[in-house]
Amino acid sequence: MTTTRIPKINLKEHLVGDVMRDGVVGCTPETPLTEVARLMSEYRIHCVVVAGLEEDRHGTHLVWGVVSDLDLARAAVAGEELTAGQIAATEPVTASPTDTLADVARVMGDHDVAHLVVIDDKGAEPIGVISTLDVARGFAGSA
Protein backbone atom coordinates (compact mmCIF):
# COMPACT_ATOMS: atom_id res chain seq x y z
CA MET A 1 0.00 0.00 0.00
CA THR A 2 1.32 3.42 -0.87
CA THR A 3 0.55 6.56 1.04
CA THR A 4 0.49 10.04 -0.32
CA ARG A 5 2.26 12.54 1.84
CA ILE A 6 0.35 15.79 2.04
CA PRO A 7 2.64 18.76 2.54
CA LYS A 8 1.95 20.86 5.61
CA ILE A 9 0.86 24.34 4.55
CA ASN A 10 1.71 27.25 6.79
CA LEU A 11 -1.11 29.79 6.66
CA LYS A 12 1.29 32.39 8.04
CA GLU A 13 3.20 32.27 4.74
CA HIS A 14 0.22 33.11 2.49
CA LEU A 15 -1.30 36.57 2.28
CA VAL A 16 -4.90 37.63 1.73
CA GLY A 17 -3.83 39.45 -1.43
CA ASP A 18 -2.68 36.11 -2.90
CA VAL A 19 -6.09 34.42 -2.70
CA MET A 20 -8.75 37.11 -2.34
CA ARG A 21 -11.34 37.79 -5.01
CA ASP A 22 -10.60 41.19 -6.55
CA GLY A 23 -13.47 43.63 -6.82
CA VAL A 24 -16.79 43.79 -5.06
CA VAL A 25 -20.38 43.75 -6.20
CA GLY A 26 -22.19 46.67 -4.67
CA CYS A 27 -25.48 48.44 -4.36
CA THR A 28 -26.94 51.54 -2.74
CA PRO A 29 -28.66 51.54 0.65
CA GLU A 30 -32.02 52.03 -1.12
CA THR A 31 -31.70 48.79 -3.14
CA PRO A 32 -34.56 46.36 -2.42
CA LEU A 33 -33.49 43.00 -1.01
CA THR A 34 -34.98 41.24 -4.02
CA GLU A 35 -32.38 43.03 -6.16
CA VAL A 36 -29.62 42.12 -3.67
CA ALA A 37 -30.72 38.48 -3.97
CA ARG A 38 -30.61 38.75 -7.77
CA LEU A 39 -27.06 40.14 -7.61
CA MET A 40 -25.93 37.30 -5.35
CA SER A 41 -27.51 34.75 -7.64
CA GLU A 42 -26.25 36.28 -10.87
CA TYR A 43 -22.65 36.69 -9.69
CA ARG A 44 -22.67 33.56 -7.51
CA ILE A 45 -21.43 35.48 -4.47
CA HIS A 46 -22.20 35.45 -0.78
CA CYS A 47 -22.10 39.14 0.06
CA VAL A 48 -22.85 42.52 -1.48
CA VAL A 49 -21.20 45.76 -0.39
CA VAL A 50 -23.71 48.51 0.35
CA ALA A 51 -22.24 51.96 -0.21
CA GLY A 52 -23.61 55.45 -0.05
CA LEU A 53 -22.60 59.00 0.67
CA GLU A 54 -23.34 60.55 4.03
CA GLU A 55 -23.14 64.19 4.83
CA ASP A 56 -22.30 65.57 8.24
CA ARG A 57 -20.76 68.75 9.61
CA HIS A 58 -17.34 67.62 8.36
CA GLY A 59 -18.49 67.16 4.76
CA THR A 60 -19.51 64.25 2.59
CA HIS A 61 -17.91 60.85 3.01
CA LEU A 62 -18.42 57.26 1.88
CA VAL A 63 -20.29 55.01 4.27
CA TRP A 64 -20.46 51.32 3.55
CA GLY A 65 -21.67 48.06 4.98
CA VAL A 66 -22.25 44.48 3.91
CA VAL A 67 -25.28 42.26 3.30
CA SER A 68 -24.37 38.58 3.51
CA ASP A 69 -26.37 35.66 2.18
CA LEU A 70 -27.24 34.78 5.79
CA ASP A 71 -28.51 38.33 6.43
CA LEU A 72 -30.61 38.00 3.29
CA ALA A 73 -32.02 34.63 4.37
CA ARG A 74 -32.94 35.99 7.81
CA ALA A 75 -34.68 39.00 6.24
CA ALA A 76 -36.56 36.78 3.79
CA VAL A 77 -37.99 34.73 6.66
CA ALA A 78 -39.29 37.93 8.29
CA GLY A 79 -41.30 38.56 5.12
CA GLU A 80 -40.89 42.33 5.21
CA GLU A 81 -39.97 44.43 2.20
CA LEU A 82 -36.62 45.76 3.35
CA THR A 83 -33.72 47.51 1.67
CA ALA A 84 -30.03 46.72 1.69
CA GLY A 85 -29.35 49.70 3.94
CA GLN A 86 -31.83 48.47 6.53
CA ILE A 87 -30.09 45.12 7.09
CA ALA A 88 -26.47 45.84 6.13
CA ALA A 89 -23.83 45.26 8.76
CA THR A 90 -22.41 48.77 9.03
CA GLU A 91 -19.34 47.71 10.94
CA PRO A 92 -18.25 44.84 8.71
CA VAL A 93 -15.35 42.63 9.64
CA THR A 94 -12.49 43.46 7.30
CA ALA A 95 -9.05 42.31 6.24
CA SER A 96 -6.05 43.88 4.53
CA PRO A 97 -4.30 42.39 1.47
CA THR A 98 -1.17 42.11 3.64
CA ASP A 99 -2.83 40.07 6.41
CA THR A 100 -1.85 36.41 6.55
CA LEU A 101 -4.36 33.63 5.99
CA ALA A 102 -3.72 32.60 9.59
CA ASP A 103 -4.85 36.08 10.69
CA VAL A 104 -8.06 36.01 8.68
CA ALA A 105 -8.86 32.42 9.63
CA ARG A 106 -8.64 33.47 13.28
CA VAL A 107 -10.82 36.56 12.70
CA MET A 108 -13.41 34.52 10.80
CA GLY A 109 -13.59 32.06 13.67
CA ASP A 110 -13.73 34.77 16.33
CA HIS A 111 -16.58 36.59 14.55
CA ASP A 112 -18.32 33.48 13.19
CA VAL A 113 -18.32 34.82 9.62
CA ALA A 114 -17.58 33.07 6.35
CA HIS A 115 -16.09 36.02 4.49
CA LEU A 116 -14.31 39.29 5.09
CA VAL A 117 -14.30 42.42 2.99
CA VAL A 118 -10.75 43.31 1.98
CA ILE A 119 -10.03 47.02 2.24
CA ASP A 120 -7.18 48.98 0.77
CA ASP A 121 -4.48 50.17 3.13
CA LYS A 122 -4.92 53.82 2.11
CA GLY A 123 -8.56 54.86 2.12
CA ALA A 124 -10.23 51.94 3.84
CA GLU A 125 -12.41 51.30 0.78
CA PRO A 126 -13.52 47.80 -0.22
CA ILE A 127 -11.33 46.25 -2.93
CA GLY A 128 -12.25 42.58 -2.68
CA VAL A 129 -13.56 39.71 -0.60
CA ILE A 130 -11.92 36.70 1.01
CA SER A 131 -14.03 33.72 1.99
CA THR A 132 -13.47 30.56 3.97
CA LEU A 133 -13.19 28.76 0.61
CA ASP A 134 -10.31 31.08 -0.37
CA VAL A 135 -8.58 30.27 2.94
CA ALA A 136 -9.12 26.58 2.27
CA ARG A 137 -7.59 26.98 -1.19
CA GLY A 138 -4.53 28.60 0.41
CA PHE A 139 -4.39 25.87 3.06
CA ALA A 140 -4.52 23.22 0.35
CA GLY A 141 -1.55 24.84 -1.35
CA SER A 142 -3.45 25.82 -4.47
CA ALA A 143 -3.40 29.56 -3.80
The CA radius of gyration of the chain, in Å to the nearest whole number, is 17
Type of residue found at 45: I
What is the full per-residue pLDDT of the chain (143 aa) written as tens digits? 555 554 445 667 789 998 898 999 999 999 999 999 999 999 999 999 998 767 777 777 667 889 999 999 999 888 888 999 999 887 788 999 999 999 999 999 999 888 899 998 886 788 999 999 999 888 777 65
What is the per-residue pLDDT for 6? Answer: 46
CATH number where 123 lies: 3.10.580.10
- Is 118 within a domain? yes
What is the per-residue pLDDT for 90? Answer: 74
CA-CA distance, 110 to 90, in Å (whole number)? 18
What is the per-residue pLDDT for 10? Answer: 64
- Is 105 within a domain? yes
- Is 5 within a domain? no
